[in-house]
């Protein structure tokens, strides 16, 4: 009789330098997180090997899509070794990490920026997130590259709050 070997899967907090090494290794477009304020880093592991990571940070700007720093946090990076694990780690983050951070810090919303040209938004949309705004980054001081258009996605555990804040921005 065949008995499959079930492998170990863990989702846990990790150190920011470890998250940043994986962002570089997996060639995340935005690269490592280099923010002056403390954030939270989590990783999904399969048989002890990291397969996906997520970074959460306090807002840099005073207000994002109408939310202030006391109301919202930012899901600042999301990356995986395989594309099919991105949705998995987003759902784990939303179901496990986000409520814990909210309970600790009093936040009610999470926001995440998504490049409007590179991504269609399906990752967030299919997970129940709503569009809460648009933004455009300025010209880079170092690189002099022109800023990019971004969609701002929002998540709140309260469905009514999500519905009331949703803006229809789909192409």
Domains in the chain, CATH or no CATH each? 9-165 (3.40.630.30)
Q: Rounded CA gap, 56 and 69, in Å?
A: 13
How far is the first Cα of the chain from the last one, in angstroms, to the nearest whole number?
53
Q: What is the DSSP string of 39-65?
A: -EEEEEEETTEEEEEEEEEE-SSSEET
Place of tokens 């995340």: 28
pTM of the model: 0.86
Q: Is 121:153 a contact under the CB 8 Å cutoff?
A: yes
- Contacts with 135 (C-beta within 8 Å, 6 or more apart), sequence order: 64, 65, 113, 149, 150, 152
Query: What is the residue-level pLDDT of the chain in tens, covering all 171 positions?
Result: 677 777 899 999 999 999 999 999 999 988 999 998 889 999 999 999 999 999 999 999 999 999 999 999 999 999 999 999 999 999 999 999 999 999 999 999 999 987 655 556 788 889 999 999 888 776 655 666 667 788 899 999 999 999 888 875 544
């Amino acid at each position: 009789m065949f008995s499959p070997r079930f492998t170990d899967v863990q989702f846990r907090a990790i150190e920011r330098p470890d998250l940043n090494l994986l962002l570089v290794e997996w060639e995340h477009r935005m690269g490592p997180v280099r923010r002056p304020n403390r954030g939270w880093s989590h990783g999904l592991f399969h048989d002890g090997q990291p397969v996906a990571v997520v970074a959460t940070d306090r807002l840099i700007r005073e207000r994002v899509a109408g939310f202030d720093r006391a109301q919202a946090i930012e899901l600042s990076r999301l990356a995986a070794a395989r594309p099919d694990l991105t949705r998995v780690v987003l759902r784990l983050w939303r179901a496990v990490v986000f409520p814990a951070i909210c309970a600790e810090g009093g936040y009610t919303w999470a926001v995440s920026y998504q490049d409007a040209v590179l991504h269609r938004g399906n990752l967030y949309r299919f997970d129940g997130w709503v569009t809460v705004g648009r933004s455009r980054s300025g010209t880079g001081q170092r690189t002099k590259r022109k800023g990019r258009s971004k969609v701002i996605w929002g998540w709140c555990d309260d469905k009514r709050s999500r519905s009331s804040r949703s803006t229809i921005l789909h192409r």
